[in-house]
């Protein structure tokens, strides 16, 4: 990354700036977008993925740390009802973000190509991971993620920074 301390400081500042700008753009989209109606099938899919991810994390933690949590409820620290409310809220936020990104892409005529998907896979999963990543996640998922990446780049490139 750098050969001198000053170069390394610059690298860290640049990296920190990019990270903070990405976070700002994500939060801005989520906080300033509204959805009149969430697509039920899409929202249900996000909920299923969230629950699967939470369950997998619970099992991983228990495997790594010798049954650290006696049950899933103790891991999440919520009642079943509280957990359902939490899942619904987080998935609506996620859906709102994804729907807003899709709307921006359509409004700005941003489309994704096969090269964009390959570049996204290389950047996210490592050089040469395209075929295995495509097999694991499927083209539609990777196209959606690549498109979101392009929209974020568009927004960051066109942001006015004061």
Radius of gyration in angstroms for the set of CA atoms belonging to the chain, rounded to a whole number: 19
Q: Tens digits of per-residue pLDDT, 130-156?
A: 889 899 889 998 999 999 999 999 998
Cβ proximity of 146 and 120 under 8 Å: yes
Q: What is the mean pLDDT of the chain?
A: 91
**Nearest-angstrom CA–CA distance, 140 and 146:** 10
Output the pLDDT for position 1. Answer: 65
The pLDDT tens digits for 88-127 are 999 999 999 999 999 999 999 999 999 999 999 999 998 8
CB atoms within 10 A of CB 44: 12
Q: What CA–CA distance (Å, rounded) separates 141 from 136?
A: 10
Distance of CA 61 to the CA centre of its chain: 22
């Amino acid at each position: 990354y750098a050969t001198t301390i000053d170069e390394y400081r610059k690298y860290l500042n640049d990296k920190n700036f990019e990270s903070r700008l990405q976070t700002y753009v994500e939060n801005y989209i989520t906080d300033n977008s509204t959805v009149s109606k969430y697509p039920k099938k899409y929202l249900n899919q996000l909920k299923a993925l969230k629950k699967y991810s939470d369950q997998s994390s619970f099992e991983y933690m228990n495997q790594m740390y010798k049954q650290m949590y006696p049950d899933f409820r103790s891991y999440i620290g919520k009642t079943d009802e509280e957990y359902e409310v939490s899942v619904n809220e987080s998935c609506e936020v996620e859906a709102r973000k994804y729907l807003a990104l899709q709307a921006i892409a359509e409004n700005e005529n941003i489309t994704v190509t096969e090269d964009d998907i390959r570049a996204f896979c290389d950047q996210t999963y490592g050089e040469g991971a395209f075929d295995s990543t495509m097999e694991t996640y499927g083209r539609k998922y990777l196209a959606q993620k690549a498109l979101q990446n392009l929209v974020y780049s568009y927004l960051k490139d066109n942001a006015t920074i004061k």
